[in-house]
Amino acid sequence: LRPPTVIGQFHTLFFGSIRMFFLGVLGFAVYGNEALHFSCDPDKREVNLFCYNQFRPITPQVFWALQLVIVLVPGAFFHLYAACKSIKQEDILQKSSYTGFYIFSVFLRIVLEVVAFWLQIQLFGFKVNAIYMCDVGALEKKFNVTRCMVPEHFEKTIFLIAMYTFTVITMILCVAEIFEISCRRLGFLKTQ
């Protein structure tokens, strides 16, 4: 069962293939070796590991993979419901209860994307700086703050902006899909 709207079908293509490909292939290339090349002054394993964990409480690849899975859940529930009830694609826009449930699943995706967007800002910001100042006071060292070098900070900044852009695009597509469904239900657009 595919989405009942053209925008929904485009969203599935965009979300399912382009975003996952971008994250899987390019995300690994940009972030895959970050922990190995993260170095602090003094360059000791325990300091580097401590500071890297402070710098990245969660790795971006894990965060974005969780985001993709969580945002897919509302649509998966709807499609599971539709499969169990043997609902045909054309019936989704014809029967009010099916339409309402589908719109709710799309609205829930928007909410989850907004939450993910906010969390991404809190965790990663909009720019990766070349130097990270790490508080190493907990290691009981003679110094309290040390400088750490962040590898490929410019590439990571570009990737962050791309992931924000993907999130915004998917939110816009979800809003447009709700608009398209509303127009079809009100008779402004012909049903497929």
pLDDT of 190 > 80? The answer is: no
The pTM of this model reads 0.85
Top-confidence residue, 64 or 142: 64
159: domain range?
Answer: 6-183
- pLDDT digit string, tens, across residues 4-13: 888 888 888 8
Helices (H), the chain: 6-13, 20-21, 28-31, 34-37, 45-55, 60-84, 89-92, 96-124, 153-186
The burial of 164, by beta-carbon neighbours within 10 Å (0-12 exposed, 13-18 middle, 19 or more buried), is given as: middle
Neighbouring residues of 23: CB distance < 8 A, sequence distance ≥ 6: 61, 64, 65, 68, 163
**What was the pLDDT predicted at 111?**
97
CATH number at residue 119: 1.20.1440.80
Sign of the dihedral defined by the CA atoms of residues 184, 95, 104, 76, in that order = negative
Specify the pairing of strand 39-40 against strand 145-149.
Answer: antiparallel
**What was the pLDDT predicted at 191?**
54
Closest residue by Cα to residue 147 from 37, 38, 40 = 40
pLDDT of 93 > 60? The answer is: yes
In this structure, is residue 189 part of a structural domain?
A: no
DSSP state of 191: -
CB contact at 8 A, 25 and 36: no
**What was the pLDDT predicted at 52?**
93
Most confident of 71-80, 124-133, 134-143: 124-133
**CA separation for the pair 51, 16 (Å, rounded):** 35
In this structure, is residue 190 part of a structural domain?
A: no
**What was the pLDDT predicted at 188?**
77
In this structure, is residue 55 part of a structural domain?
A: yes
User: Looking at the 3D structure of the chain, how many domains does it have?
Assistant: 1
At residue 141 the predicted structure's pLDDT band, cuts being 50, 70 and 90, is low
- pLDDT digit string, tens, across residues 47-62: 899 999 999 999 998 9
Closest residue by Cα to residue 168 from 125, 120, 124 = 120
**What was the pLDDT predicted at 1?**
63
In this structure, is residue 62 part of a structural domain?
A: yes
- pLDDT digit string, tens, across residues 158-181: 999 999 999 999 999 999 999 988
CB contact at 8 A, 93 and 58: no
